Amino acid sequence: MKKFIKIKNNNFLGSKEHQKFIKIQKTKTFFVHFTRLLLLIALLGIWELSAKLNWADPFITSSPSRIINQTIELYNNGTLFKHILITLNETVLAFALSTAIGAFIAILLFIISPLRRVLEPYLVILNSLPKIALGPLIIIWVGVGTKAIVTMGILICVVITTINLLNAYLEVSNEKIMLLRSMGANKFQILTKLIIPATLPNFMATLKINLGMAWVGVIMGEYLSSSAGLGYLLVYGGQVFQLDLVMTSIVILCILSGIMYGIISILEKIIVKKR
Amino acid sequence: MNTLLELKNIYLTYQTLTSETKAIENVSFKLNEGEFISIVGPSGCGKTTILSMVSGLLKPTSGEILLDGEKVTKVSTNVGYMLQRDNLFEWLTVQQNILIGVKINHNKNCLTKDKLQELITKYGLSGFEKSKPSELSGGMRQRVSLIRTLAISPKLLLLDEPFSALDYQTRLSVQNDISSILKSEHKTAILVTHDISEAVAMSDRVIVLSKRPGTIKKIIHLDFDKKLTPFDRRNDLQFNKYFKLLWEELQ
């Protein structure tokens, strides 16, 4: 698909066969987008219809119109943006901090290879440990609320960031490292001139994984202890059997994580192109 | 002529937990300023090991290496190392690639930007300064790699099979290019290769190493007309004689 956009921008006009080829490809692409949209509308339509015609109990399954009404209600009583902002704030914090900490540890382990050898099994164990198991400890050690939630988010993201980045660093060609060494480069120069720019695509891919993990961590943290936020709404909605509230929270989460993923994708395109 | 490089009774043994391998045994030779020598030998005979020791990346187990009368103990900009693959950094432009060594050494003992621009123009890369390596042909990439090596102004160039990744036609023309660049910049060079014809076409002397552990089996002086390019040498009457001589040594 990308190629065709490029051709369009260059005002490339090829032979008749080429134009025909482009037309067919464009039609195919259009069909894919169209079907995607159709699928969404169909799903929402069936959902709504099944609630309206009482095929399924809307008290259990909710419905698109009830979700919209619920959202308006939340907006009217002034809590919609409060909950969104709290969760968003926690997610961005957990995401940014875990990326920074993870990258820092990865660099440290890359530079100091004895440390890497010592810590390797610990990293493996920490990676396979279900972090939710640390929930009670987190609450006792850092207290309830935002701190606990962000800590949970960081714990979930940081190990995988470290492992991903470290592996990427270790995969940079030895010959290139030798080349820089033969020019008299020190470790710091090898890092800044070669390792970090060479692994930028891996870094961006890690950011994408991290973002998803940060959402998981934050919602889990909010399950654990919170008085506001989308995770709180989910738990609360479940407890008082208000499935509209649960569904609304899920839909908002979908939209938010989609937007954040989009932002990172755009960022990736700009940065990887510019490096 | 001045001696630029001298290897005195070099031994090198690689250690691993399960074994030790003698890679180089009692290798001694001298290299004069402006001379071009090739090292040939069966694979695994320690050709690259010798280059690594000369560059200072690897310490010999015993013996000493003198560059310009001084003992080689660490990496320095006096030696430029060119590897089998061009190892250009894909995310940098041609110009930035060429300047990488200069930046690492903070312009110390390096060629000036003007001089580098002159090399870029002279060797057919002008107009490509802002291009990415992926837009260049194999031959152009190898020329960028050579200019990058020359940029730190080394007295001695180490060429580790720099042509083996190129297709035959490109290889012949890059051999010509690099040979003329080295001649016009008055550089001294050691070429490691397993291609006998390449060694005969390019060098003043050829050192033949034995199987592992590598010892010097023979040194052959090539007596070609100084003006001949590597390509011309291939058509010279003496070419086949030297080729056969080396071929027999390597059997």
Cβ–Cβ contact A176 with B under 8 A: yes
pLDDT in tens, B195-246: 899 999 999 999 999 888 888 888 989 888 888 888 899 988 889 999 998 8
SS3 letters across chain A: CHHHHHHHHCCCCCCHHHHHHHHHHHHHHHHHHHHHHHHHHHHHHHHHHHHHCCCCCHHHHCCHHHHHHHHHHHHHCCCHHHHHHHHHHHHHHHHHHHHHHHHHHHHHHHHCHHHHHHHHHHHHHHHHCCHHHHHHHHHHHHCCCHHHHHHHHHHHHHHHHHHHHHHHHHHCCHHHHHHHHHCCCCHHHHHHHHHHHHCHHHHHHHHHHHHHHHHHHHHHHHHHCCCCCHHHHHHHHHHCCCHHHHHHHHHHHHHHHHHHHHHHHHHHHHHHHHC
Q: Which residue from A175, A185, A193 is facing B83, i.e. has the nearest CB?
A: A175
Local confidence band at B97 (pLDDT 50, 70, 90 cut-offs): very high
Do A21 and A81 share a domain, yes or no?
Answer: no
CATH number of the domain encompassing residue A76:
1.10.3720.10
Q: From residue B41, give the alpha-carbon distance in Å to each of A252, B158, B213.
A: 69, 16, 11
Using a CB-CB cut-off of 8 Å, the residues of chain A touching B91 are 197-198, 200, 275
Do A38 and A109 share a domain, yes or no?
Answer: no
Q: Does a structural domain hold residue A156? A: yes
Question: Does residue B108 register a pLDDT over 80?
Answer: no
pLDDT of residue B83: 84
- Assigned CATH for B1-78+157-180+189-251: 3.40.50.300
Q: Nearest Cα to A217, choosing from A266, A161, A141? A: A161
pLDDT of residue A266: 92
Question: Does residue A103 register a pLDDT over 50?
Answer: yes
CB B182 within 8 A of CB B213: no
Using a CB-CB cut-off of 8 Å, the residues of chain A touching B88 are none
Boundary of a domain, candidates A56, A82, A97: A56
With CB atoms and an 8 Å threshold, state whether A183 touches B55: no
Do A118 and A44 share a domain, yes or no?
Answer: no
| ipTM for this prediction | 0.84
Average pLDDT in the A113-135 region? 91
Using a CB-CB cut-off of 8 Å, the residues of chain A touching B147 are none
Do A22 and A153 share a domain, yes or no?
Answer: no
Average pLDDT in the B69-94 region? 87
How far off is chain B from A104, nearest CA to CA, in Å?
23
CA distance B71 to A2: 56
With CB atoms and an 8 Å threshold, state whether A175 touches B85: yes
Do A206 and A182 share a domain, yes or no?
Answer: yes
With CB atoms and an 8 Å threshold, state whether B57 touches A178: yes
Do A237 and A124 share a domain, yes or no?
Answer: yes
How far off is chain B from A185, nearest CA to CA, in Å?
6
Q: Nearest Cα to A109, choosing from A173, A162, A168, A178? A: A162
pLDDT of residue A275: 65
Do A114 and A241 share a domain, yes or no?
Answer: yes
How far off is chain A from B143, nearest CA to CA, in Å?
16
**Residue in chain A lying closest to B102 (CA):** A183
CB A244 within 8 A of CB A234: no
Q: Does a structural domain hold residue A265? A: yes
Cβ–Cβ contact A196 with B under 8 A: no
CA distance B191 to B186: 15
Do A143 and A205 share a domain, yes or no?
Answer: yes
CA distance A97 to A153: 9
How far off is chain A from B81, nearest CA to CA, in Å?
6
Do A93 and A162 share a domain, yes or no?
Answer: yes
With CB atoms and an 8 Å threshold, state whether B91 touches A185: no
Residue A170: exposure state from Cβ atoms within 10 A (0-12, 13-18, ≥19): middle
Do A232 and A269 share a domain, yes or no?
Answer: yes
Give the residues across from B12 on adjacent strands: B24
CA distance A88 to B128: 46
Question: Does residue A231 register a pLDDT over 80?
Answer: yes
pLDDT of residue B120: 87
Which residue segment(s) compose the domain that A46 sits in?
A: 2-56
